[in-house]
Copies of this chain bind each other. A is one copy, B any other.
Amino acid sequence: MPDLSIDVVAKAAGVHRSTVSRAFSRPEAVKSETREHILRVAEGLGYTMSPLAQALRRKTSTIIPLIVPDITNPFFAELAKTMTQAADERGYQLMLCVTNGDPAKSDGYFTAMQAMYAPFGIVAPSTKVDTETLKRFAFGHKVVVIDRVEGDDSVPTVTVDSRKGIMLALDHLHSLGHTSIGYVSGIAGTHTAQDRMDAYLELTAQSGSTPVVLDSGSDLDAGTRGAEHFLQMDNPPTAIIAANDMVAFAVISALGRSGLRVPDDVSVIGFDGLALGARFNPPLTTVRQPIADMGHIAIELAEKQNVDSSVDHIVLEPELLLRGSTSGPRK
């Protein structure tokens, strides 16, 4: 491929560089006859425009970064998947950036995205620390956050209603006859984790029961520790709400290792609605977040902000996903 530049095509088509450029990026500005000829020639040569050169000159590209803390977490994986989709439906290419919780990295990604003239970026549930970083950069740059952002309304966000989700879980469990319902928290530091916990606390109190927080620790092993705590209790709850599906998995796994069966001995309900949950043992009953919608909406918000410079905060409705990890309490 002897370096195909716009000039090569121009020469081959017998027109000027700028005409070729127009033929591609502003078709209506070129006589259709000419345009088709150019396009044909280009096609024949196997020519494509250099996104680099374009971005450099236009000062805007089509690559948009999705910044997530950990792609290994299926929630983010699913998010990434639908966002990839949503992105290229609209002609963008998603660039997945994984920070592994390192703020320095998100920092790096932000400046990189800036340097690459990304029209905007998407940040998924960031820890509160990251939020600081975010604020420094969000200024002057379009970012939409898939989470709630505290004390800064200038950033568009899309979240799912945590309170509603917890309520769904609670109601479901209550309707099965559970009265003592424990809770295991998720990855600390995210606002959503906080919100879910708060909702649990509040709603439980409201219904007159005593909240039982089995673990409010911070890392991925919350599930395991929650289960341990559970096993040591004299009068353990008959059901457990896990702050997210991964934690639910860990809880069930740990319980299982100690001979307890779900849902026969304890009911467990998750929060996320991961596809993976359907293949768990038992299939996980959970509060589903409309992940696909979140992806699409995130992009819409971003685009909208780019024209309107409007800042919306969308809150989506979760829904109950009944599978096999809950049942009536053991007598």
Cβ of A84 and Cβ of B72 under 8 Å apart? Answer: no
Would you call A98 and B74 a contact (CB within 8 A)? no
Range, interface on chain A: 35 or more
Shortest distance from the beta carbon of A26 to any chain B beta carbon, whole Å: 20
Interchain CB contact under 8 A, A117 and B52: yes
A223 at the interface (CB under 8 A from B): yes
Chain A residues 205 to 261 lying within 8 A of chain B, measured CB to CB, are: 223, 246, 249-250, 252-253, 255-257
Interface of A is mostly: helix
Whole-angstrom CA separation of A282 from B281 in the bound complex: 8
Please measure, in the bound complex, the distance between the C-alpha atom of A250 and the C-alpha atom of B283, giving whole angstroms.
10
- Taking a contact as CB atoms under 8 Å apart, the answer to whether B50 and A253 are in contact is no
A194 within 8 A of B: no
Among A75-83, A142-150, A311-319, the stretch that binds chain B is: A75-83
In the bound complex, do residue B98 and residue A80 qualify as a contact, i.e. CB atoms below 8 Å apart? yes
Q: Is the CB of A115 within 8 A of B279?
A: no
Assess whether B249 is in contact with A280, with CB atoms less than 8 Å apart: yes
Chain B: minimal CB distance from A273 (Å):
13
Q: Which residues of B contact A275 (CB under 8 A)?
A: 72
When the two chains form their complex, are residues A80 and B71 in contact, meaning their CB atoms are under 8 A apart?
yes
| With known contacts A50-B56, A52-B56, A95–B96 Cβ distance under 8 A | yes
Residue from A70, A84, A223 having most chain B Cβ neighbours under 10 A:
A84
A55 vs B257: C-alpha distance when bound (angstroms): 54
| Complex contact A257–B52 (CB within 8 A) | no
A85 on the interface (CB 8 Å rule)? yes
A117 neighbours in B (Cβ, 8 Å): 52
Q: Which residues of chain B have C-beta atoms less than 8 A from A252's C-beta?
A: 281
Instruction: Give the CA-CA distance A253 to B282 in the complex, in Å.
Output: 6
Q: Contacts A115-B50, A279-B249 given: A1-B71 contact, CB under 8 Å?
A: no
Task: List the interface of chain A (C-beta within 8 A of B).
Answer: 1, 48-53, 55-56, 61, 70-72, 74, 77-78, 80-81, 84-85, 93, 95-96, 98, 100, 111-112, 115-117, 140, 223, 246, 249-250, 252-253, 255-257, 262, 275-276, 278-283, 324
- Report 27 cross-chain contacts, Cβ distance below 8 Å, ordered by A residue: A48-B111, A49-B115, A50-B56, A52-B55, A52-B56, A52-B61, A52-B116, A56-B56, A70-B81, A71-B80, A71-B81, A72-B81, A72-B275, A74-B77, A74-B276, A84-B98, A85-B100, A95-B95, A95-B96, A223-B279, A249-B276, A249-B281, A253-B278, A253-B281, A262-B281, A280-B280, A281-B281
Extra A-B contacts (19), CB below 8 Å, given A280-B281, A281-B282? A48-B111, A49-B115, A50-B115, A52-B61, A56-B56, A71-B80, A71-B84, A71-B96, A72-B78, A72-B275, A74-B74, A80-B96, A81-B98, A84-B100, A95-B96, A252-B281, A253-B283, A256-B281, A281-B281
